[in-house]
Amino acid sequence: MADLEIYQAIVAAQEAGEPAALATVTRTRGAVPRRAGSRMLVYPDGRILGTVGGGEMEQRVIRAAQEAMEDGAPRVLAYDFVDPASGDPGVCGGSNEVFVDPLLPDPTVLVVGCGHVGKALAGLAKWLGFRVAVTDDRAEFCTPDYLPGADVYLPAPANEIGRHIRLNRYVYIAAVTRGANVDTEMLPHLLESDVPYIGLIGSRRRWSVTVEALREQGITPEQLARGYYSGWGQQ
């Protein structure tokens, strides 16, 4: 496989906000499955692009790459191919080293709601250095003309956000929508995701209405506790 295809896949993963890890054979001695310079891109679910040699060794590299995506630390893996009985991954007779580099996406602030507050919040997040995605079910508000400077524009219904952006642990959600009905439609899907932060804003009464509607849908108090609510007043 040409390196160009792997590099293009790395760019695509970064643009999609998806982590990956690049495994590269950096040193070899004797008979080995692949020579130095062989590369393999690993995704969180274990999918791969390219190869560093196949077999048991490659499976070990994939597992190490998944661990690297979790802790963010690169690692150098050394393998001998002599004696499987003592734990070696093959019998070729040589040895190699593989460098695994986790390629983690930039932290993203996803602003749900492109009204006045959302517009200001998106600008602040961008100024602070975050990758910024904005979404609203009103397509005319979710545009570069109305809200300039965002990296990603996702005009979509609130309950379809997860179809358009990967809601993983690198995405922080700030929901500043126009009403409790939008929050009620949106939150069940967000609460099932892996995002580390869900922030909401509104009056106390609005939040109480939202909570009651969510409970009627079967959302538990433990699930609701994942959201951070900022409110004001009694109405």
pLDDT higher at 234 or 153 = 153
Reported as a single tens digit per residue, the pLDDT across 26-83 is 999 988 888 999 999 999 999 999 999 888 899 999 999 999 999 999 999 998 888 7
pLDDT for res 94: 87
Question: Quick one: how far is CA 108 from the chain centroid?
Answer: 9
CA neighbours closer than 13 Å in the CB half-sphere of residue 198: 19
All structural domains of the chain: 3-7+15-103 (no CATH), 108-232 (3.40.50.720)
pTM here is: 0.79
Question: Quick one: how far is CA 84 from the chain centroid?
Answer: 37
DSSP 121-185: HHHHHHHTT-EEEEEESSTTTSSTTTSTT-SEEEE--GGGGGGTS--STTEEEEE--S-HHHHHH
Angle at 233 (CA atoms; ends 221, 219), nearest 5 degrees: 15
Answer whether 13's CB lies under 8 Å from 105's CB. yes
Burial class (CB in 10 A: 0-12, 13-18, 19+), 85: exposed
